[in-house]
Amino acid sequence: MTIENELEQTPQLLRDFLAQRGLVYDPQTQVDMLACAFASQFLLFAGPSGTGKSTAAKVLAEFLTPRSRQATIDARPVWTSSEDVVGQYSVFTKDFVRGPATEGLLALHGGSGTPVVIIEEANLSPMEAYIGPVITTASSVAFLSLTWPLHTQPAGGSITVPSAITLTPWPRVFGTVNIDSTAEAPAPKVSGRACVVLLEPPDIDTALASTDAIITPPAGTPITTPPGQLLFGDPRRAWSAYLVAGTTERFTNALEPLLKILADSAGHGLNLVSPRDVQRCVTYMGWHVPLAEAAVNASLVSSSSDTESAENSLLHFVLPGLSSEQFGRAVTPLRAVATPSGLLARRLSRLAAGGESLFGVSPDFWASLS
């Protein structure tokens, strides 16, 4: 069975799943969020307050994995290390002092089924400080397990927790990042390892339709298995299917013209995109292309193309990491070639509205959001 066959019903399943909960997202965003969750293991849902970041993270987790494989961490200000999250050994009590996330993460330790950790308001403290193990591990395009150290004390005595928490197989971390004039943007080290899912304020019709979510409609048939669970695992699975079929050139061919525009406009003719980010782009495209095609077949969206998938990949993996000068130079040329009805054109229109600062310097991706 091809990856297209496996994903054929998934966009419709997600739409039905959202409708059952009274939630409204435009079809393009639904397909994009699915592709991001399948293709990436560290996602940042970013945007101003009220854009549905927490809702998106939670409903995707429920669609993809059982609740028993989910944990939520409510970030707090002034966290400076992993110990603030998971706790630490105390030499005074000779015991392990648990942190605010210890119990939730311990519930995911080992086990079966892909675990999802949701970090709410992730940028209340510097992520590179308090989720260091995530940032380090996410430097890989894909990782089977994530090890979160707890302590170095020998077993026995009063210690009742393992020395480390292991999240496996193919764990996901979903962070929500509120971007406004008072919030710090993620450090380049963080955004460079994440898939940034940019959400926008809904239009008036969508906002009005969202009133159905005040009270969740009663479910029809109880959901015993999350609809997307069977496909939720190794992020490279879709790319591997195209690699076996010998058809991966379609993705690199769609991505290449956009990379050249970036190089010519923002890089003075030099490539700005690292090999790792190229790998992440095509990994995402491997999922997005068949999902978008399935959405067209189900009449959820009117059209899809490899080019639109390539455009989305830049939005997730490349634009958040550009400097303010590079970003300012790239926005106009990219808008000129972006598919008019695509996500990139819509998001760039919003980002470009940031204009220039008081000092005449173009804002970067994150500053444009605020």
Label residue 42 left, alpha or beta by phi (over 0 means left) and psi (-120 to 50 means alpha): beta
pLDDT at 219: 53
Is the pTM above the cut of 0.95? no
Half-sphere exposure of 38 (CA within 13 A, CB side): 31
344 and 292 within one domain:
yes
Classify residue 325: in a domain, yes or no: yes
Domain count, the chain: 2
DSSP 247: -
Q: What is the pLDDT of residues 40-73, one digit of tens each?
A: 999 999 988 888 899 999 999 999 999 999 999 9
pLDDT at 358: 47
Classify residue 4: in a domain, yes or no: no
Taking the CA atoms of residue 267, residue 189, residue 37 and residue 271 in that order, the dihedral angle to the nearest 10 degrees is 20
Quick check: 272 pLDDT over 50?
yes
Distance (Å, whole) CA 300 – CA 314: 23
189 and 95 within one domain:
yes
Classify residue 259: in a domain, yes or no: yes
Residue-wise burial string across 174-205, b where 16 or more C-beta atoms lie within 10 A, e elsewhere = bbbbbbeeebebbeeebbbbbbbbbbbebeee
Domain hosting 133: range is 41-201
182 and 53 within one domain:
yes
194 and 241 within one domain:
no
Q: What is the pLDDT of residues 172-217, one digit of tens each?
A: 999 999 987 777 889 999 999 999 999 887 777 766 776 766 766 5
Which one of 147, 178, 201 terminates a domain? 201
Quick check: 140 pLDDT over 80?
yes
Distance (Å, whole) CA 36 – CA 31: 9
Q: How high is the mean pLDDT of the chain?
A: 90
Distance (Å, whole) CA 91 – CA 86: 17
| CA nearest to 321, candidates 195, 199, 190, 188 | 188
Half-sphere exposure of 227 (CA within 13 A, CB side): 19
pLDDT at 223: 57
Half-sphere exposure of 229 (CA within 13 A, CB side): 16
Q: What percent of the chain has pLDDT over 70?
A: 92
